[in-house]
Amino acid sequence: MNQKFEQYQTLAEIEQLKAELKEDRQDAEQQKVASANAEEACTVKNVARERDQA
C-alpha cells in the first residue's frame, strides 16, 4: 500500500513538473515575441527618423 502511494505521489510530481515546464516554455515564447516586437519597433522608429532627416 505504501509503495502504491509513493508511485502516485511520484506521478503527481512528474505531472506538476511537466505543467511547470509547459508554462516556462510559454513564458519564453512570449518573451521572444515581445523582444521581436520591440526590435521591430526600434527599426521602424529609426527608419522614420532617417526619413525625416533626409
**What is the number of alpha carbons within 13 Å of residue 47 lying toward its C-beta?**
6
Report yes or no on whether pTM surpasses 0.75.
no
How many independent structural domains does the chain possess? 1
- Domain for residue 1, yes or no? no
Question: Do the domain assignments include residue 50?
Answer: yes
44 within a domain of the structure (yes/no):
yes
In-domain check, residue 16 = no
Residues 18-54: tens digit of each pLDDT: 999 999 999 999 999 999 999 999 999 999 999 999 8
- Residue 28's domain comprises 24-54
How far lies 52's CA from each of 2, 17, 42, in Å?
Answer: 74, 52, 15
pLDDT tens digits, one per residue of 34-43: 999 999 999 9
